[in-house]
Amino acid sequence: MLSPRQLFLQHQAQTTDFPLLLEVEKAEGVYMYGPAGQRYLDMISGIGVSNVGHRHPRVLQAIHEQLDKYLHLMVYGEIVQAPPAQLAHALAQTLPEGLDNVYFVSSGSEAVEGACKLAKRFTGRTELIAFNNAYHGSTQGSLSLNGSENFKRAFRPLLPDVRHIRHNQLEDLDQITSRTAAVILETVQGEAGVRVPTKEYLQALRQRCTEVGALLVLDEIQSGFGRTGTFWAFEHFNIVPDILTCAKGMGGGMPIGAFISRQEIMHSLKNDPMLGHITTFGGHPVSCAASLATLRVIQEEGLLAQVEAKANRFKERLVHPAVREIRNLGLMMAVEFDSFDTLKRIIDKAILKGVLTDWFLFCDNSMRIAPPLTITFPEIDTACDLVLEAIVEEVG
């Protein structure tokens, strides 16, 4: 009998030269457990997914209750089902007035696809503007928006009429014109290594979009659902998007995504020709039930109020000459070292010590720190101690 690790290597498509190869049998709260009982502090939350921790009891309960009723019934939007309807309502209540129409999908990439189709349909324009080093997904439309040429080269031709401008550069805003259907921006760039734009920039971007009639799409797939200390990251900047995309942390560990907009914009999807967007699994009742429970946990367990203090604790503790910079908004953090080589050695050593960290797709000298928001201060101290030990052993 081959072990799961052997089967994984033989039969599961490999997508990286550096798979973590960590075998996990169980996960609970901020911990993952290996088959021999090894315990790992999870500092990445499945890339911003387990914001309320692994297997949060309220999320599990909501899933169980839905399992006893029904699983899938019908493609999205045909049958009235309580979980998506109640989740859409709850999401609208977290958002500024008017952003109350939700289209559920099953992943982040799909949410971005839907948002871009919606913007094109509503404006009747075709140009999409995205940013250098942006990450919006892996399907061909969302891939077209990514700001790293290395990821796109092999797959061209991609979407036409996509233009990239520099992130956080006021001078580039005049490239957004009355030809532009939408500008899509990660409120905080994730895979670029946590790049936080200035408030001045985001407000000017918002204003420019309004002036030329382009829709502003904020991608909060990584920064949403409490990750930065507010429910949505855009709340830090006092701006409101026309379309919002979310996924990842939204499901509390279940697959779900959404794009959200105002009624008058969303309605353009159902106008001639009919059925502007179709999905079989979008709004899956089990995922919606899990998502509603996740939203309630974030709201009712006081998680948001502690995010900044927890982030500050990491910053106070992770002090070492090899740490060049820490960038963050809340618990979306990047710890920068001099090179990928150094970082990779530290990450590998930290795993042996029982702490799981990672790097970023477009920023391979920075360590990703994005633990469950439920992490306690003692757990933060332990994680920092172990990462520091790994740093000292690898670089002195």
Binding residues for ligand PMP, rule: CB under 6 A, are 47, 107-109, 112, 135-138, 186, 190-191, 219, 221-222, 247
Residue type, 347: I
Helix axis angle, 340-353 relative to 377-395, nearest 10°?
A: 130
DSSP state of 29: B
Looking at the Cβ atoms of 229 and 257, the one nearer to ligand PMP is 257
Q: Tell me if 156 sits within 8 A of 211, measured CB to CB.
A: no
Min dist CB 190 to ligand PMP, Å, is 4
Residue 51: CB minimum distance to ligand PMP, A: 13
**What are the CA-CA distances from residue 87 to residues 71, 76, 92, 194 (Å)?**
16, 14, 8, 29
Q: How far is the CB of 138 from ligand PMP (least distance, A)?
A: 6
Q: Which residue is nearest to ligand PMP (CB)?
A: 108
Q: How far is the CB of 108 from ligand PMP (least distance, A)?
A: 2
Q: What's the min distance (Å) between Cβ of 223 and ligand PMP? A: 7
Amino acid identity, residue 263?
Q
Strand-pairing partners, residue 182, are 128, 215
How far is 222 from 322, CA to CA, in rounded Å?
27
CB-based contact 280:76 (threshold 8 Å): yes
CB of 255 to ligand PMP, least distance (A): 8
Nearer to ligand PMP, 54 or 136 (CB): 136
Q: Which is nearer to ligand PMP, 38 or 138 (CB)?
A: 138
| Shortest spacing between CB 307 and ligand PMP, in angstroms | 18
Q: Which is nearer to ligand PMP, 111 or 295 (CB)?
A: 111
Give the C-alpha separation, 259 to 99, whole Å. Answer: 10
Is residue 241 within 8 A of residue 262, CB to CB? The reply is no
Q: Nearer Cβ to ligand PMP, position 190 or 253?
A: 190
Q: Is there a contact between 24 and 16 (Cβ–Cβ < 8 Å)?
A: no
Nearer to ligand PMP, 136 or 349 (CB): 136
Rounded least distance, CB 388 to ligand PMP, Å = 28
Phi, psi of 189 (to 5 degrees): -65, 125
Give yes or no for a contact between 331 and 227, defined as CB atoms under 8 angstroms apart: yes
Q: Three-state SS for 240?
A: coil
Q: Residue type for 364, please? A: D
Closer residue to ligand PMP (CB): 107 or 374: 107
- Taking CA atoms, 378 is separated from 310, 313, 381, in Å, by 10, 10, 5
Residue (246 or 355) nearer to ligand PMP, CB: 246
Amino acid at 387: V
Least distance from ligand PMP to the Cβ atom of residue 310, Å: 21
Segments in the chain forming alpha helices (H) = 4-11, 45-48, 57-67, 82-94, 108-123, 140-145, 149-152, 199-212, 263-266, 285-300, 303-317, 340-353, 377-395
Closest to ligand PMP by CB, 47 vs 390, is: 47
